Structure 1
Amino acid sequence: MRVLLTGSSGWLGRYLAPLLRDAGHIVTGLDVAPGADTGVIGTVADAALIERTFGEHGIEAVIHGGALHKPDIARYSRQTFVDVNVTGTLNLLEAAARAGHDRFVFTSTTSLMISQAIRDEADDAAVWLDEDSGPIEPRNIYGVTKYAAEQLCRLFHAEHGLSSIVLRTGRFFPEEDDTHSHPPGENLKANEFLHRRLTVEDAARAHLAALDKAPGIGFGTYLVSAPTPFVRTDAAELKHDAAAVIARYFPEAPDLYAARGWELPGRIGRVYDSGRITRDLGFVFDTGFAQILAALRDGTPLPFAHDADYVSPKEVA
């Protein structure tokens, strides 16, 4: 298929574009910043550009990964978030509907599921989050606009029969966390594979699976995060002594972490359960916490990216 990939110069796009080509698709990349896989420079908020791109490139399907993200809140106005994340998504959906497409994949975020109450972690147990969790009460403009875009995908399926898959991805960015500095860098990312992170490679593969399965599903929303080893009955203990729970599941973890000078989390306040994407799409993640421990044990490179100096191409541009 001729696939329009938005956000093609970004972190996900640079992994997803080659994967799509390897699967036999013809990829047209669209981004505000130049990149190796970006043939169209511009914003999804430009409806005329979207319409022209569809016509000139014979677009048959869309993977919409381009967006403003949570760190952009400090750089862009609320109106810009609405223009890019909401109006941009609407522009793409309308063009896809006019073209008679049968599939649309939207990159969303687990962040929109985190209300201020969940973020405050005031409960006595970790919050267990899956696709049925709610009510959805996003705590910032990023979450609000991504949730609105999700609902546009649902609406276009209901009104136009456009098969749409929404992927609420966990963390896969390579840079440092913008709110937490301890534990640092790689240690924090490794810990997050227990409950809220995945590799960018798995994120890209999930998009390819969604593109393939969308017509058979119609509309679906899926969490995309490395499978957690925990079960719901662990929630109370995770909040108070996560290290003990981790040691039960992975007895070698404390020693492997100590040898690296790392710390296991003392508490975990939320857990993302991504089981539905495996059940519905047959998608299997390549990397989880067990693979990280194996790398520590064997002295091989860690199976995830960490780049403290990474800057989004749109900011460089």
Structure 2
Amino acid sequence: MSIDSPRQRGTVLVTGACGLLGSGVITRLRQRGTRALPTDAFPRDDETTVLDVTDAEAVHALVAREQVTGIVHCGGISGPMVARDNPQSIIDINIGGTANLLEAARVHGVRRLVFCSSLTVYGNTANGPVPETTPTLPTSVYAASKVAGEALVNAYAAQHRVDGISLRIGTVYGPGRRTTCFIRTLLQNAGTGVETVLSFGGDFPRQYLYVEDAIDALIHALDAASPVHRVFNVTGDSYLTLPQIAELAGAIVPGIAARFEDGPDPDDPDRQGQLTADRARQELGYTARWSLADGIKAYADSLLLGKEQRRD
């Protein structure tokens, strides 16, 4: 469900526009005729505006000058494996930056702000379904920064009527990902005839989400008319261990071979039960379209064609 003609009105500011999700959101918005303003702390092209979200004055000036009506906040530290040895930077960027954007949204009357949160907010959970009502028990500063970001979104909504939505996004894979990715490693090693060997993961589950589905969820959250809740799980249709994923990939791409030992991923050790996606389907109209098999095939094709950094 969409609000009254959001696609043609106003300007949507996207942070992290040179990253995996932000770049895709910019493309989708422009394809449908929405004026999209790409921003990034470290632009890689001339059309992206330099914006450090920790600079409150710069954030306010840009939102006012460009008459921003929507914000999709994809920028910031992007995973528990990033800046692990510099936790203060995670706090400053992920919490302080989010606060600056919310305050700008309050002051300048932005219609909707969408915040990229993460499934890491749950920490370790029991087996079984994990709905959004599950307690958040972060085990990393990164995850804690996402919990704090969600709390700020909720508080600005309750106290200042800033319309914000947080998406707890699963493990994203696909063309354009630059940080560590098990699926990419499998595919690249298969292409060079190398076995993938991990000292962990034999009994470790992952909830993968193809990049195009993650972008779909962000667009749906931006457009949704009047959702009841402000926090939503966003995940794909699979819940498999790393060996099961390797087996599935091996049925799609020749040459995949992998060996594992038991234990958690040292970069992202939390073990969650399978996230439920009912709330996003019912209130945002969002359902993941890509099966894990289809996503792996598409990712393999993009790597084979040398288009890993490109979006078509």
**TM-score normalised per structure 2:** 0.73
1:216 to 226, 230, 239: 226
What residue in structure 2 maps to residue 60 of structure 1?
Answer: 69
3-state secondary structure, aligned to 2:38:
strand
**Structure 1 unpaired stretches of 5+:** 231-237, 247-251, 312-317
Which is richer in helix?
1
| 2:290 pairs with 1:287 | yes
Amino acid in the other structure paired with 1:52:
A
Q: 1:302 to 1:93 in 2, by over 3 A?
A: same
The count of corresponding residues between Structure 1 and Structure 2 is 272
Distance in structure 2 (CA, Å) of the matches to 1:57 and 1:44: 16
Amino acid in the other structure paired with 1:256:
A
Q: Deviations over 1:256-315 (max 9, x none)?
A: 26965456999995423323212221112221135358x4xxxx76478799xx99xxxx
What residue in structure 2 maps to residue 198 of structure 1?
Answer: 209
Alignment of 1:1-317 (within 5 A): 1-36=10-45, 39-69=48-78, 70-74=80-84, 77-115=86-124, 118=125, 126-134=127-135, 136-173=136-173, 174-175=177-178, 177=180, 184=186, 195-213=206-224, 215-217=225-227, 219-228=229-238, 256=251, 260-262=255-257, 270=272, 271-291=274-294, 295=297, 302=300
- Structure 1 position 80, deviation (Å): 1.5
Q: 1:16 to 1:159 in 2, by over 3 A?
A: same
Contact 2:172 2:211 in 1 (8 A): yes
The alignment yields a C-alpha RMSD, in angstroms, of 3.8
More displaced stretch, 23-32 vs 266-275: 266-275
3-state secondary structure, aligned to 1:93:
helix
- Structure 1 position 143, deviation (Å): 0.7
Distance in structure 1 (CA, Å) of the matches to 2:300 and 2:227: 35
What residue in structure 1 maps to residue 267 of structure 2?
Answer: none
Which is richer in strand?
2
- Structure 1 position 129, deviation (Å): 2.3
Contact 2:130 2:276 in 1 (8 A): yes
3-state secondary structure, aligned to 1:285:
coil
Distance in structure 2 (CA, Å) of the matches to 1:38 and 1:159: 36
Distance in structure 2 (CA, Å) of the matches to 1:227 and 1:167: 16
Q: 1:54 to 1:195 in 2, by over 3 A?
A: same
Q: 1:305 to 1:158 in 2, by over 3 A?
A: farther
